[in-house]
Amino acid sequence: MPIFATKDNLPSQLIDQLRTARQVVVLTGAGMSAESGVPTFRDAQTGLWAQYEPEELATPEAFRRNPRLVWEWYAWRKQLVNQAQPNPGHYALLAFEQHLPKFTLITQNVDGMHQRVGNTNVIELHGNINRFKRFNDNVIVESWADNGEVPPRCPQTGQLLRPDVVWFGEALPSKALSYAFEQAAACDLLFSIGTSGMVHPAADLPAVAKITIEINPDKTMLTNSMTYVLQGASGEILPALVKATWPRTGLPE
Ligand code: APR
């Protein structure tokens, strides 16, 4: 059985393990950005978007059928994401990177929040909503002339552009995934934060790690196989953990 705790009774053994760790891996999911107000896929399906099934908005087939609709759905979500601000949990993970000899952040989120606060070693398993690539051959395209065409086209080849996110039915980026599993197997501690553990293969990462810590207000598919379970919001638990582990760290409120 895991050791259960909250921000008010953080296990002293865990604090020692974190302070002396050589390598820590963190896996984040949608709950990490919940306190920033980043809406989930479903939450963003308000107003005129409510009438569509996810398969009509986030699959290669949907893009082939109606590229404009898919582009506009992502433009809408990109706008929602970019209006949101990082929360205290994100800043606490920057402190992890600053204090630990080796720190790897693996995220299922496409909002780019970890990089926005300054984390550098971030593996994006599901891509990034602010990055774009050619539909036909997945080559990243940084910029294009905005001539009003939706979706825009690659300035070199004329191919349609799409967001660089993983759609339903698409494989995860294989290099990122194998690197993530390597790091999870090698690390001293792995944190699973704000993820329900229902989406594979990301949900298999904790199983290869030695010591695992879940941070989540609710029980998940992973809870029972954790070493520690810290019950609560990541925006509260993570700053408390940083303060307990490295007391002189300054964190934004
Ligand atoms: N702090 C920590 N965890 C939270 C918070 C919070 N403030 N609020 C909610 N959670 C938890 C929920 O209890 C839930 O377990 O975050 C988890 C979110 O689960 P999912 O919505 O299933 O998100 P995730 O695990 O990231 O799903 C993986 O599936 O829908 C796709 O693209 C989506 O990348 C995502 C993937």
pLDDT tens, residue by residue, 104-119: 999 999 999 999 999 9
Task: Give the residue whose CA is nearest to atom 9 of ligand 1.
Answer: 31
Closest CA to 206 of 28, 34, 30: 28
Ligand 1, residues at Cβ distance < 6 Å: 29-31, 34-35, 40-41, 108, 126, 194-196, 198-199, 215-218, 220, 233-235
The answer to whether residue 7 is domain-embedded is yes
pLDDT tens, residue by residue, 196-249: 999 999 999 999 999 999 999 999 999 999 999 999 999 999 999 999 999 988
pLDDT tens, residue by residue, 51-62: 999 999 999 999
Task: Give the residue whose CA is nearest to atom 14 of ligand 1.
Answer: 196
CA 154 to CA 180: how far, in whole Å?
A: 31
Mutate to test the pocket of ligand 1, among 195, 204, 222, 241 (most ligand atoms within 8 A of CB): 195
Residue 206's contacts (CB-CB under 8 Å, 6 or more residues apart) are: 27, 184, 190, 192, 197, 212, 214, 222, 225, 226
Residue 142's contacts (CB-CB under 8 Å, 6 or more residues apart) are: none
In this structure, the answer to whether residues 148 and 250 fall within a common structural domain is: no
Instruction: Output the domain CATH number for residue 75.
Output: 3.30.1600.10
DSSP state of 87: -
The answer to whether residue 170 is domain-embedded is yes
The answer to whether residue 16 is domain-embedded is yes
Question: Can you give the residue range of the structural domain that contains 6?
Answer: 1-36+86-126+166-253
- What residue ranges in the chain does DSSP mark as E strands? 3-5, 23-28, 102-107, 122-124, 127-134, 161-165, 189-193, 211-216, 228-231
Structure tokens, 197: 């553990």
In this structure, the answer to whether residues 208 and 103 fall within a common structural domain is: yes
In this structure, the answer to whether residues 62 and 112 fall within a common structural domain is: no
Least confident of 40-49, 111-120, 170-179: 40-49
Band of residue 253 on the pLDDT scale cut at 50, 70, 90? low
If one counts the domains in the chain, the total is 2
The answer to whether residue 202 is domain-embedded is yes
- What residue ranges in 54-188 does DSSP mark as E strands? 102-107, 122-124, 127-134, 161-165
Average pLDDT, rounded, for the chain: 96
In this structure, the answer to whether residues 116 and 206 fall within a common structural domain is: yes
In this structure, the answer to whether residues 147 and 180 fall within a common structural domain is: no
CA 52 to CA 107: how far, in whole Å?
A: 26
In this structure, the answer to whether residues 141 and 152 fall within a common structural domain is: yes
The answer to whether residue 103 is domain-embedded is yes
Band of residue 97 on the pLDDT scale cut at 50, 70, 90? very high
The answer to whether residue 198 is domain-embedded is yes
The answer to whether residue 95 is domain-embedded is yes
CA 202 to CA 195: how far, in whole Å?
A: 9
Which residue is it, tokens 């949990």? 89
In this structure, the answer to whether residues 213 and 93 fall within a common structural domain is: yes
Instruction: Output the domain CATH number for residue 204.
Output: 3.40.50.1220
In this structure, the answer to whether residues 64 and 93 fall within a common structural domain is: no
CA 97 to CA 83: how far, in whole Å?
A: 25
In this structure, the answer to whether residues 10 and 32 fall within a common structural domain is: yes
Mutate to test the pocket of ligand 1, among 28, 108, 215, 230 (most ligand atoms within 8 A of CB): 108
In this structure, the answer to whether residues 188 and 160 fall within a common structural domain is: no
Residues annotated as catalytic are: 126
Query: How much is the pLDDT for 185?
Result: 98
pLDDT(251) > 90: no
pLDDT tens, residue by residue, 161-170: 999 999 999 9
Please report the atom of ligand 1 found closest to the CA of residue 40.
21
In this structure, the answer to whether residues 224 and 175 fall within a common structural domain is: yes
Q: Are 192 and 212 in contact (CB under 8 A)?
A: yes
Query: How much is the pLDDT for 51?
Result: 95
Please report the atom of ligand 1 found closest to the CA of residue 89.
1
Mean pLDDT within 18-47: 95
How many angstroms is it from 150 CA to the middle of ligand 1? 31
Please report the atom of ligand 1 found closest to the CA of residue 237.
1
Please report the atom of ligand 1 found closest to the CA of residue 218.
13
In this structure, the answer to whether residues 2 and 74 fall within a common structural domain is: no
How many angstroms is it from 134 CA to the middle of ligand 1? 29
The answer to whether residue 131 is domain-embedded is no
How many angstroms is it from 218 CA to the middle of ligand 1? 10
